A = this chain, B = another copy of it.
């Protein structure tokens, strides 16, 4: 591996470099990676803009083949890619192998979606020349790519939400050139994937500006990217402060642009009485499994559990505390994330209204995330908004409520969420149904008798939700509907067939599904 990054067809180097850190040891990892300059960002955006008109009008089949070629190129470097990602993220091999499969799987899913064609939303209103009092024109609507897109790699999915992750896959599928700002925690992984995409661009004969990667540890790079007038939308997964900063930058541009930021969620799990009575112990164990998986570094990690207090909840708590007490420490993604986690856990442990129920096994070594389980009352939770702030990692609070009315008040108090989970038996259906309208207002996904971690990449998935779970609840960042973030409608009125784009030509040469009236 060299330390260059791909801008269009070039490999760019620099005298200014930075090194990745192995979070399991805090040691620096070779090689040094070139830091992108403001000129590199301008070059990437200029190439993206130059590529846009050609790329957006490629046939859907051509873009599908391109996405599949990217998947092939990533598969071809599977072993070294997973090895490098392990070093840079501290994540274990099976997890990264699964994530590699998810990454190539979602590229292929978007290829399938492109061929299916509903994404283009073609609607045709045929002319009615004899209509009274006035004739109707021929109107043809399709959706086109919005323009070059900036994507910010996420630290917690160095493959599936990073350089060739869901944002990039959906933007490329839409026909948008992409400039990725690689996450500085995994520059080697980013460069390997970036060069795989670069190779796919060349193999498919596409304009070089379809893809570039910029790198570096400074926030200013990302700001320059979002401020470039050629960028027309932004995809981001990360912290609330980071997401809100990008939203503010984008809104302050002379031409404001949409930011799709997936930011913050505590993913409430509600234990209903009958379910709790029937299987409190099993639920307690399963909950800790979901909580501690991957050191809790998921946006869908269950950060609060809400239930009516009583002996059944005690059973759940005992089982959860016992399981958590045996949870092995796991390396967290970065020293910064580990420090924030420790700080968040310490704040909860020191909170007057919060009881520490259990901590995971302590261990020597750098950046080990030690799980933490807390409890508080519904009244205390409602009274202090700080208790509803996300602590990124394997920390969670069990909220003991006086009754179901207090459960409802807790849910009414929380901000927007990615997910809300119900643990229910048949005897709980009436109570759950009564609460459902509150939950629908709060979350993008409502699930029963499962756990929020593990987000299926599928057409019906919604990985999104009301603010601050995301900056735009009208969309999803996982699943095929993610493509809609990067499309806008255009209507063609009375254009001669020779001038109509293929998607809306009279003969329908692309064979796209059409709604006609």
Contact = CB atoms under 8 A, between A and B. Distances in A.
Nearest to A446: B492
Contact of A494 (B53, B449, B493, B515): B449
Given A139-B461, A459-B517, A467-B255, A489 B123 contact: no
Nearest to A421: B493
A489 B444 contact: yes
A420 to B, nearest CB: 10
A315 interface: no
A123 B118 CA distance: 12
Contacts of A64: none
Nearest to A452: B493
Contacts of A440: 144, 490
Interface residues of A, number: 73
A499 B448 contact: yes
A209 B462 CA distance: 30
Contacts of A491: 444-446, 460-462, 476
Contacts of A495: 422, 446-448
A141 B255 contact: no
Contact of A450 (B454, B472, B474, B493): B493
A76 interface: no
Nearest to A443: B490
Interface in A448-491: 448-450, 454, 456, 458-462, 464, 466-468, 471-476, 481, 487-491
A203 to B, nearest CB: 25
Contacts of A144: 440
B489 A462 contact: yes
A481 B492 contact: no
B456 A136 contact: yes
A450 B476 CA distance: 39
Nearest to A123: B460
> Most chain-B CB neighbours within 10 Å: which of A140, A147, A494?
A494
Given A436-B499, A459-B517, 7 more contacts: A125-B461, A424-B496, A429-B499, A432-B499, A444-B491, A448-B499, A462-B489
30 contacts: A53-B437, A124-B460, A125-B461, A137-B450, A137-B456, A141-B459, A141-B461, A141-B481, A256-B471, A424-B496, A443-B490, A444-B490, A445-B490, A446-B491, A446-B493, A447-B494, A450-B494, A458-B517, A459-B517, A460-B491, A460-B517, A462-B489, A462-B491, A464-B488, A464-B489, A466-B488, A474-B487, A474-B488, A476-B489, A476-B491
